[in-house]
Amino acid sequence: MSLSFIYPAALWLLLIVLPLLALALLAPRRLPRGRFWASLILRALLFVCLVGALAGAQLVRRVDRVTAVFLIDSSDSVSPEERTRAEEFIRAALQTMRDGDQAAIVAFGDNALVERAPSPERSLRRIQSVPNTSRTDIGEAINLGLALLPADTQKRLVLLSDGGENAGDVRRAIELARARGVPIEVVALGEATNDLVQLSDLRAPATVRQGQRLALTAIVEAGAVAPATLRLREGTRVVAERQVQLQPGRQQFDFSVEATADGLTRYSLEIIADGDTRRQNNQAAALIDVQGPPRVLIVEGRAGEAANLAAALRAAQMQPTLIAPPELPTSLAGLASYDAVVLANVAAAHLPAAALELLPAYVRDLGRGLVMLGGDRSYGVGGYGRTPLEVALPVNMEVRDRERRPDVAIVFVIDKSGSMAACHCNDPAGNSGMQSGGVVKVDIAKEAVLQASALLQSRDKVGVVAFDDAPHWALEVGQTPSLNEIQDAIAPIAPNGQTNVRGGLLAAKAALEQTDARVKHVILLTDGWSSSGNATDIAEELRAEGITLSTVAAGGGSAPYLAELAEIGGGRYYPVVNMEDVPQIFVEETIKAVGSYLIEEPFVPTLVGDSPILHGLTDQNWPSLYGYNGTELKDSAQLILRTPQGDPLLAQWQYGLGRAVAWTSDLKGQWAADLVRWERFGTLAAQLVGWTIPQQRDNALNAQARVDGTQAIISAEARDTEGRPLVDAQLNATLIGPDGRAQPVPLHQVGPGQFQAVMPSPPEGAYLVQLSAQHDGTTLGQQLVGLVVPYSPEYRQQQRNPALLEAIAQETGGSLLQTPATVFMPSQSDVRRAREIAFPLLLLAALLLPIDIAVRRLSLQRRDLAAARAWVAQRRARRWAQPLHEPLLGDLQRAKARASSRWRGSGTPAEAATGAQPSAAPEPSRTPLTSAGSETARPATPRRPAPVVEHPTPEETRPQPMPQATQSAPAPAEDDALARLRAAKARARRR
């Protein structure tokens, strides 16, 4: 046992004792020598206790208690039999625990879970924790086990696993355990034995021409001789099936099929064998880029709008595919099947939200093309402002020049009265109407406000006022916030109360009069049956102030004067039967209010830049166009054609690995009626889209991705036009995971012109790898390769890794356990436990203080002690020498005398009750006591009943003198007994 301190710097305070001792020794002494030194020692000891408490004194002693944390592998690579053996090992080890030992249990797979915190309990219940069993992360289990170990015991981890780590980093966990001095004991488990066959890999080329024969090689590992079936699919279509006879060990099977698909195609292989109970590792897949004519995906806002473009692309040997907006793929793998995507007059709200998020990555990371065409549902009026897709385009949706695009202030006046609580839905026959169980009309109005607000620029102003019997501002008029902020502001609007249309319009009028916007507009949504009367006078006032008013009648039963309001207010009237049309009406009304988003006037484009898009077209007489969408060119974009007002008509730029083009007019018969009839229209359309399609030089880049064991390998080879390796080429790779997230992958040169990257144990799923090669600042080419991880490495055969288990035990000072009895045996490690004694020291100081005061203030001599001893002895002798019966007889005699005295003083009971004075009675003669202490005989007196004293007077309770003994004859025995009873009763009452 030793002493330590938490704050050893406080021990410097002990130096104060020296000057205090010196002062006490040099000062005149007022106490005797013995008391002086005793007081000095007590004071010094008290000060030492206080300083020790302040310094955090601790008693440190060695402990041999053991805390063991069992880490049990619950992954799928461990068979149920081996997991049961592990539990039996833990159960047997717990029975060997000594008093003070503790045990904890952690179950782990891909993650680690605490089954039991450190506890002295010796029993083991069935393990209930269920981690993710598709992988094995030993490192996380060790880290969690280290966190459970207390600091004041001997520490030990017991790992029960097959060692098949395929996730995490066990090396770092080993270093942490070694740094903390915690040994890891290991119990080796076996792997599952019912895995008959495993499909290890499907080898395929990364790229193949459409129509060519495709060579595929399947790698199969079998544990015994067995028949099996191999089934190959192209996408979901079975293209080959073969019956094979498996042999023990590793073997391969070759397939040759024709590549009939186009684009990035998934080929999957499945093996079926009788008796194989683990099916997770019976499949493999590969993504192959089947190169055919360029594939272009055209998303058209309305059917037939992109027919002219599709015909021109087919004439240019491309393969266009026309789809509706909801059919746009929402995964990168689906988009990667196309070389370019064209958005032909499509509103952003009609596209899937996931597709809007993925299209920028499709261009930036995959190196594909994007083309946006203009129209009345495209660019800003299509709601693309502040969307993820805007960052991928070479133009901004906002026009910041107030002369070209004046700022706008719009107030949405929404009816929230009780009538707006009606629900809109379609009945089974397909007829729409207001019924229960559908969407509340006021909620449809909220969605309409959101969609219309998306068309506004940040410098525009917007407000939302909801009214029932009074107006309520949900969003004060101000610069347009984000859509999320608008949504949060209007979310609390709920239908209730009466309808006061006048109140809502007056609130909108007052707010718009305070703004300086050049265009002011009010959109009113109501059923019109106002309890406040007609509001045509307000419409006239709005028109006089330059504020236009449009009305949307919600429901077929709306008030007829709403049309008159719109006419007086200079706006438009929208009678709505189907409430689902309200959002689109709000959008169209906002577009018309904004106005300059769409510029509709005839013009001839002006050439301002050179581009391959206009190859062979610059010397032609261009036909006139009749409108376009107003946009602004981004700083790094290239302007090719512009309008007479200086707005972009054709702009292009490089966005990441891909390219994007903005054509702000349309390619249909509205604004481009003359253009689509032009003899060079086909050339323009083909070059417009063709410029965005990725190009690759022959033999410049050859890449491949494959799965090898528990790791994925990406390899690439860069060569010049003559086939020589480029040793100084720069290769960049981007890995796009199944969740659509892109991350750069560093490639290291492993040979002349050969580059490689290794990814340890990637999660299962389909990956895309986009590679690009540069040499001397020139782009050599790009290539997209696919990688499929069909199943977790947990399900591969021969996952057991005893070498790793041995390394874990050896590097941490542990061992390979054979018997459970050794788990809780104390080790020779010097583990100590500290117990703080600051409070006991303070308690000791508190006890020493009164002792010190007593030593200094109290003066005790020897004669005082002798007198005290004599007094104690005298009291003891007196108590033992007095007869036992004397106190009792004396008490009885005194009680008798007091009773007689009270009798004489109080009279008869009747007299005491009436308050009369007692009658005089002759006092009996008294004779002195004889030498023997007895009384002389006296005449017998008549016996009287004992008086009852309910409330004794102060005189009665005052001690009475003892009556003097007389020489009368002794009283009869009855008298004596009665007197004693009376005396006892009187004493009881006095108490």
Q: What are phi and psi of 786, to 5 degrees?
A: -105, 155
Cβ neighbours for 572, distance < 8 A, ≥ 6 positions apart: 550, 551, 566, 589, 592
Distance CA 107, CA 90 (A): 12
The pLDDT value given to residue 174: 92
- What three-state secondary structure class fits 348? helix
Cβ atoms 404, 371 nearer than 8 A: no
Residue 237, Cα to own-chain centre: how many angstroms? 42
> What CA–CA distance (Å, rounded) separates 834 from 832?
7
The mean pLDDT values, 10 residues at a time, for the chain of 991 residues are: 80 84 78 80 87 83 83 88 90 90 92 92 87 89 92 87 86 91 89 72 84 85 86 90 88 88 87 81 87 90 90 91 94 88 91 91 90 89 84 85 70 86 51 48 85 79 90 89 87 86 90 87 81 78 88 71 85 81 78 69 91 86 91 92 92 91 91 91 92 71 82 86 79 85 87 87 86 78 84 74 89 88 76 75 87 76 75 77 55 73 53 43 41 40 46 47 45 63 72 56
pLDDT of residue 194: 61
According to DSSP, the β-strands at 226-234 and 237-246 are antiparallel
Task: Spell out a b/e string for 943-979, using b for 16 or more CB atoms within 10 Å of the CB, else e.
Answer: eeeeeebeeeeeebeeebeeeebeebeebeeeeeebb
DSSP conformation class of 719:
B
Strand order in the sheet with 832-836: 2-5, 57-62, 832-836
* 902 and 959 Cβ atoms separated by less than 8 Å: no
Coil vs helix vs strand at 573 = strand
Residues 163 and 71: beta-carbon distance below 8 Å: no
Q: Which pTM does this prediction carry?
A: 0.56
* Most distant CA atoms of the chain, gap in Å: 170
**How confident is the model at residue 400, as a pLDDT?**
63
Burial class (CB in 10 A: 0-12, 13-18, 19+), 160: buried
C-alpha to C-alpha distance for 893 and 895, rounded to whole angstroms = 5
User: Under a CB-based contact definition with an 8 Å cutoff, are residues 366 and 339 in contact?
Assistant: no
Q: Vertex 368, ends 321 and 718: CA angle to 5°?
A: 130
Residue 769 identity (one-letter amino acid): V
Strand intervals (E) in 259-337: 263-273, 283-291, 295-300, 319-323
- The candidate with the shortest Cα–Cα distance to 603, out of 585, 580, 579, 630, is 630
**Total count of residues recorded for the chain:** 991
Give the pLDDT score at 888. Answer: 55
- Look up residue 948 and give its two tokens: 């009852």
Q: Which residue in this structure is represented by tokens 């005449």?
A: 939
